[in-house]
Structure 1
């Protein structure tokens, strides 16, 4: 297979199979059974469907991607600059941004070649059969639930900071989870895309207040061009930048609900230019003023009053970005239940009681698990680092290299100088994903061990004030 934008490319070898008629972009085409499943859109013909999924234009997809990616990622960038130094920080933000653009583009190509792909589980089935489907599907669900848990935890920290800890933090965690659950209920991403605009405005306003606040406070501590750290501590800071680009886990689902999937590249370029620029500006400005005293999340670098204001303004992005991840996770499970070998149940595209009850039930389970995980595990942030190292290293980086090798026949990999370059580049991406996984695991586990030694972990379901002071 080649890197083709054609979503109807079919092997002629299986022409002896039984033919059937399927609908693709409202046209009836006769294809073999297996290819009908692998060659045509995940949602089929939505002309008479009560619930239509493929309704997003490219800028709405870009807004979703932006809200999902920069929401919490941007808040850890200044502290990464403080740990790594300004030179390494800038190089990593730009370099990893370029790589994330290339890997995102490859995900788009893979989706165009296999329009039935809706999530990483579907991609896994193409790469490695039923085992690949189960492994990547389970990995995506676990990763997304832990991301939802991180939003629950960040929400309760925000509420505690705003209210100065006047109530039990478990209550704030529950409120955050309930709000996220309610906002996840809309069945289509198009319905959530408008919320993502509010999310983007929210985080930009909060960051602007923080940058103005640190500017008014003046310079604190020196700014260094480089830093001397142990490998574990240094790579832990690097992972903050690596995972600030880790929105790729939802890309297949976003493309699946675009009106014109070929427009995904527009949304991707918008995302990568915007987030790379914002990461650089925020990292440089906050670190330049806060210096060695820079803390994470970045909103904590101002005085008490501005910190509370910033967190209040940032609440929409904390919640909505979590909602987007929760929706992607719920949609994966929902599609798995109501789609069998390309045949859709009526409950997937109609306002049936079973369809809605199943959808709401899935959303409830996801946010209940996110709440429990965030409250029970005392070293949640470090555990999230472990989970991200295992899964995001592949979803954002390594697996795109595997996609390229799958799409490019061996006979074409070394034919020209440009093809040789691409072969080496995508092999490097696979190795890079493996390295991030191993090094990230080492750094995160080391941080957990040090946390236990220092006694810095709180107990489960604690009412302790989690506010940043």
Structure 2
């Protein structure tokens, strides 16, 4: 689906002469609403031309594995220039002169990643198959495989849309740094704020989800002798210390170690599941059968559990349970909201598309193989997470402890990224808190981190129903961030791109030709570009609306499922009784 971005009536860059009277990019305020789409697009096209003429970077696997970067990626680039983008307003106010070359070199210095590195990062970001067997059990063989295939393809398509918009609005002069920048440059300030708030909330809920999951881990490992409410506290206490690592680069080897730990858990559970019965007793709390047909997991008077069964199609009379299982697929493929961060560090962002589709294919293969394997051996007893659904206590403990270490790393990352998204894109923009580069800002940031983790703890304590909480996260935030936002952004991008009049942006005068109302311009942009482009615009509107509809349906199913879950006596808020302990 690679699509080369062609300039629309834009003059060749070599023809630009004369003294500029336009405001130069280095003197613009961050997220300046006075900068038009035409200006963003003009500089993006120029940047893409330069990137296409440059040699593709080679993957340095030592840098990928250790997450270390060349401190001087441009050879002679001045490292001090790399801070230019972070202090634009301050420097402008102090009347410091920044040349065009210095400004673009500072932007180039950030871009060092190769396509191979992005393949690894995407795989690390998205891979998480522990709920696939459960989802297959709620959907049946046919619908499960079909829907995981569709969700996987559409997640890749959303990644393609993000890539397309990024290529058209990112440049050395105006670098796009995060997901909210796509909304800002295609639809405006409100879209940026909504996107940033959703991303921050999504990361907070993910942190809560990890806290729930591994609070239960600790509880199960302790054989429920430890007061349950203490278990998330232990997890949070260790995770909080990890989140004090200020930069993602400093995570280095441990961030990659988590991937291998997860693969180890996958192989362990596959071996154990193939040679031992399911964990029948725990199935009432989070198995596929508990979601779609509780009778299929209910023991008889002698304590014998029903035989393992499989559904070829979707189980009857189980719409809510099947939708909740489907939402596990949404969680499985979520991660597109971080793609912009990956693109922003690539020397040649065009190479991202190959890495993204390769990573999606790998992830899809792992999901289907592992999910079908678990469902084949455990049927309606397939549990979420799968490593808690094995019956031997020793292997339960092994899976719990290994995944716990990986989860602590993930939680530290969620805490680190989440607080930064909240601080840089919400608190600074809306509440005007001091910048992180200032001493006051650093103290303010340090004060927010424990508050962030405390909120995650409250969520973890209040909603111990893990798979129900996954449904809430997936339907409310992750589905929108992965499937709703990309078509919305690309629709705005294509409309504005085809609404450009005349020569577009004039870099000499800064003039942009706009002779009609905003509504008229958007209508003209929607209907321009030929029949195929208009058809694609209509398709993206439908994609956007279908995703919103799925969000509403998912929220309904998640809330109904959560209400039913809280009817179970074991699920008490902030209780010493573990939600996994059926004998208490």
Report the TM range for the smaller structure's normalisation: 0.7 to 0.9
Q: Determine the structure 1 residue equivalent to 2:402.
A: 313
State which of 131, 150, 153 in structure 1 corresponds to 2:212. Answer: 153
Mean Cα deviation higher: 50-59 or 365-374: 50-59
Q: Structure 1 residues 114, 363: closer, same or farther in 2, change over 3 A?
A: farther
- 2:229 alignment partner, SS class: helix
Contact 1:61-1:193 within 8 A present in 2 as well = no
Q: Determine the structure 1 residue equivalent to 2:232.
A: 173
Q: Determine the structure 2 residue equivalent to 1:213.
A: 272
For 2:429 and 2:136, the matched residues in 1 are separated by: 48
Q: Which consecutive residues of structure 1, in runs of 5 or more, have no partner in the other structure?
A: 24-31
State which of 13, 20, 26 in structure 1 corresponds to 2:24. Answer: 20
- 2:26 alignment partner, SS class: strand
1:129-180 alpha-carbon deviations (Å, 9 max, x no partner): 3322332222221121111111111121111222223322333312222332
Shift of 1:50: 7.8
1:23-422 paired onto structure 2 within 5 Å = 34=35, 38=40, 47-48=79-80, 54=111, 56-71=113-128, 74-115=129-170, 116-192=175-251, 194-217=253-276, 221-226=308-313, 227-303=315-391, 304-336=393-425, 347-348=436-437, 353-354=439-440, 356-377=442-463, 381-408=467-494, 409=498, 419=533, 422=536
Q: Determine the structure 1 residue equivalent to 2:552.
A: 438
Instruction: Report the TM-score when normalising by structure 2.
Output: 0.67
- 1:82 alignment partner, SS class: helix
Q: Structure 1 residues 397, 109: closer, same or farther in 2, change over 3 A?
A: same
Q: Determine the structure 2 residue equivalent to 1:26.
A: none
Q: Structure 1 residues 54, 156: closer, same or farther in 2, change over 3 A?
A: farther
Superposition RMSD on alpha carbons, in Å? 3.8
Q: Structure 1 residues 283, 64: closer, same or farther in 2, change over 3 A?
A: same
For 2:347 and 2:251, the matched residues in 1 are separated by: 15
For 1:4 and 1:334, the matched residues in 2 are separated by: 35
State which of 398, 402, 427 in structure 1 corresponds to 2:541. Answer: 427
The structure with the largest helix share of the pair is 1
- 2:24 alignment partner, SS class: strand
Q: Which consecutive residues of structure 2, in runs of 5 or more, have no partner in the other structure?
A: 14-18, 28-32, 45-76, 84-108, 279-306, 499-523
Q: Determine the structure 2 residue equivalent to 1:447.
A: 561
Contact 2:570-2:577 within 8 A present in 1 as well = no
Q: Structure 1 residues 421, 201: closer, same or farther in 2, change over 3 A?
A: farther
For 1:321 and 1:276, the matched residues in 2 are separated by: 21
For 2:466 and 2:130, the matched residues in 1 are separated by: 17
Q: Structure 1 residues 229, 56: closer, same or farther in 2, change over 3 A?
A: farther
1:377-409 alpha-carbon deviations (Å, 9 max, x no partner): 455753552343122222111111112211223
Q: Structure 1 residues 112, 202: closer, same or farther in 2, change over 3 A?
A: same
For 1:53 and 1:366, the matched residues in 2 are separated by: 29
Shift of 1:237: 1.3
State which of 451, 454, 458 in structure 1 corresponds to 2:572. Answer: 458
Shift of 1:271: 2.5
Shift of 1:99: 0.7
For 2:194 and 2:150, the matched residues in 1 are separated by: 30
For 2:426 and 2:139, the matched residues in 1 are separated by: 46
Instruction: Report the TM-score when normalising by structure 1.
Output: 0.82
